[in-house]
Amino acid sequence: MSSFDFGVISENIPFLWQGLKLSLWLTVLSVIGGIAIGTILALMRLSGMRSVALFAAGYVNLIRSIPLILVIFWFFFLVPLVIGRPIGSFYSALIAFVMFEAAYYSEIIRAGIQSVKKGQIHAGQATGLNYWQVQFYIVLPQAFRNMIPILVTQGIILFQDTSLVFVVSLRDFMTVSSIIARTEGRLAEMYVFAAFIYFVICFSGSLVVRNLQKAQGT
Amino acid sequence: MDYNWNWGVLLQDEYLSWLISGVGWTFSVALAAWIIALIIGVLVGVGRTLPFRPLALICTCYVELFRNIPLLVQLFLWYFVLPEVVPESIGRWMKRDMPNPEYITAVVGLGCYTASRVAEQVRAGINSISVGLASAAYANGFSIAQTYRYILLPISFRLIVPPMTSEFLTIFKNSSLALTIGLLELTAQSQQIAEYTFQGFEAFTAATLIYVVIALCATVVAQYLEKRTMIPGFIGKA
């Protein structure tokens, strides 16, 4: 322990901050995209149209049974092939995370939608609203309000998951930490520091979730 | 899309044996880590519900620590940092003489991480049992140990079978992180085949199908277990 030298961190603050910014950006954009596509998948599964529901269920169950790293490999291989040219690893990673997290978000959102009382839907229909109006003005707003704590929890998990872009060398906080660790020969200091930063961010996030749950009385 | 299909590549001796060895490592990491996760997870989960404040606090710290650090960082801490901070002779043994260091690190790391998730399920299971049952046990003169042994654990273990099967699947998926410390499990092998042959589509499809089959088998077993262990009247409370 005596040979710990945390000077290596203060020398590399700008580089680390760049990595952390990339991790946070990737998280925020993936949460937004994941919730958007997740909502569509959830509505598809609950649409009552057999083929549409089956497609969505198939997609969700497929993605949920394979590891995130394999999904990242898939999209890094597929995206340039489909688009016809490389679009850079940040966008490939973003697409992989959005498509992966959408499957998990859709399960959360589906449960949230089902938790809205049937009477609400009937009341909406009775006042003459059509299917989309019922979904957008009545079901989804109530569903999302109930789901906020779980959605944030999933966001924290997503933030931890972004560290896996390490496998494709995208320079997020984890990759940057490991680059510094190797070039400076300071593995112990850098990985302990990375663990500390992740812990502080994720633990603060979970405290926020606890407060939200208390405010909702659940 | 410009792509030369060649599914035959998966059946060539060399690449087929890579896949099979990958499946073998995935299973041996996941199953060994699951044993560690169950043992530590049950102890920590029960510890958090016991009426001894210091013990409950230690168990809470364990869960918060392991849940709030990404698994990848944890694996690196076990693999790169632990040998540096333990006494020098042990550190030297870990770096030079420990057999299969990648495998042991992956099992211990994944096991301790999953234990924190198992502990949360165990705690939730015990807390979901109505307080009246434990009170009745104490009123009958049961000690704390007896109350857990005969009342709380038998009920909660049956209640948490559904969430635990999903944890079991998660440990298979998370075992893929072992590739970051150089263990060639299924995902790593498929990536390696893709790199050697340029047949990424075939290689990743093979790995995906194997993971899906594992998930399907686990789901079938889980449904059977859930039926066998369901407690009438307790449905949906856990």
**Residue that is written with structure tokens 């399960």 in the block:** A107
- Please report the pLDDT score of residue A83 as a whole number: 86
Could you tell me which chain A residue has the CA closest to the CA of B200? A77
- Kindly state whether B209 is in contact with chain A, defined as any CB-CB distance less than 8 angstroms: no
User: Nearest C-alpha of chain A: how many angstroms from B113?
Assistant: 13
Least confident of A102-106, B55-59, B171-175, B225-229: B225-229
For residue range B117-132, what is the model confidence (pLDDT) as tens digits? 999 999 999 999 988 9
The percent of residues above 70 in pLDDT, for chain B, comes to: 97
A191: nearest CB among B76, B194, B204:
B76
Whole-number mean pLDDT of chain A? 92
Is the CB of B179 less than 8 angstroms away from the CB of A174? Answer: no
**Residue that is written with structure tokens 């009341």 in the block:** A123
Mean pLDDT calculated for residue range A10-18: 90
| Chain A residues touching B30 at Cβ < 8 A | none
- DSSP letters of chain A? -TT--THHHHHTHHHHHHHHHHHHHHHHHHHHHHHHHHHHHHHHHTSS-HHHHHHHHHHHHHHHTS-HHHHHHHHHHHHHHHHSS---HHHHHHHHHHHHHHHHHHHHHHHHHHTS-HHHHHHHHHTT--HHHIIIIIIHHHHHHHHHHHHHHHHHHHHHHGGGGGGGT--SHHHHHHHHHHHHT-HHHHHHHHHHHHHHHHHHHHHHHHHHHHHHT-
- With 0-12 / 13-18 / 19 or more C-beta atoms within 10 angstroms meaning exposed / middle / buried, residue B15 is buried
Confidence of residue B1 (pLDDT cuts 50, 70, 90): low
For chain B, which residues make up each domain, given as ranges? 27-229
Could you tell me which chain A residue has the CA closest to the CA of B64? A203
Size of interface A-B (CB pairs under 8 A): 110
Q: Contact at 8 Å (CB) between A176 and A16?
A: yes
Confidence of residue B10 (pLDDT cuts 50, 70, 90): confident
A56, pLDDT greater than 90: yes
Mean pLDDT calculated for residue range B164-191: 94
- Please report the pLDDT score of residue A86 as a whole number: 81
Is the CB of A70 less than 8 angstroms away from the CB of B84? Answer: no
For chain B, give the secondary structure using H, E and C: CCCCCCHHHHHCHHHHHHHHHHHHHHHHHHHHHHHHHHHHHHHHHHHHHCCCHHHHHHHHHHHHHHHCCCHHHHHHHHHHHHHHHCCHHHHHHHHHCCCCHHHHHHHHHHHHHHHHHHHHHHHHHHHCCCHHHHHHHHHCCCCHHHHHHHHHHHHHHHHCHHHHHHHHHHHHHHHHHHHHHCCCCHHHHHHHHHHHHCCHHHHHHHHHHHHHHHHHHHHHHHHHHHHHHCCCCCCCCC
- Please report the pLDDT score of residue B64 as a whole number: 95
Q: Contact at 8 Å (CB) between A120 and A133?
A: no
- Please report the pLDDT score of residue A218 as a whole number: 59
Q: Which CATH class is domain B27-229?
A: mainly alpha
The percent of residues above 90 in pLDDT, for chain A, comes to: 78
Cα A74 to Cα A98: distance, rounded to the nearest angstrom: 13
Q: Contact at 8 Å (CB) between A97 and A26?
A: yes
For residue range B20-44, what is the model confidence (pLDDT) as tens digits? 999 999 999 999 999 999 999 999 9
Is the CB of A188 less than 8 angstroms away from the CB of B80? Answer: yes
For residue range B72-113, what is the model confidence (pLDDT) as tens digits? 999 999 999 998 888 888 888 888 888 888 999 999 999 999
Cα A188 to Cα A181: distance, rounded to the nearest angstrom: 8
- Kindly state whether B174 is in contact with chain A, defined as any CB-CB distance less than 8 angstroms: yes
Domains and CATH numbers, chain A: 7-216 (1.10.3720.10)
Is the CB of B190 less than 8 angstroms away from the CB of A70? Answer: yes
Cα A216 to Cα A212: distance, rounded to the nearest angstrom: 6
Confidence of residue A24 (pLDDT cuts 50, 70, 90): very high
B237, pLDDT greater than 70: no
For residue range A186-202, what is the model confidence (pLDDT) as tens digits? 888 999 999 999 999 99
B208: nearest CB among A66, A68, A191:
A66
Cα A118 to Cα A109: distance, rounded to the nearest angstrom: 16
- Please report the pLDDT score of residue B87 as a whole number: 87
- Please report the pLDDT score of residue A10 as a whole number: 84
B238, pLDDT greater than 50: no
How far from each other are the two terminal CA atoms of chain A, in whole angstroms?
44
Confidence of residue B9 (pLDDT cuts 50, 70, 90): confident
- Kindly state whether A65 is in contact with chain B, defined as any CB-CB distance less than 8 angstroms: yes
Mean pLDDT calculated for residue range B125-146: 93
Least confident of A79-93, A95-109, B25-39, B144-158: A79-93
Is the CB of B80 less than 8 angstroms away from the CB of A199? Answer: no
- Please report the pLDDT score of residue A79 as a whole number: 87
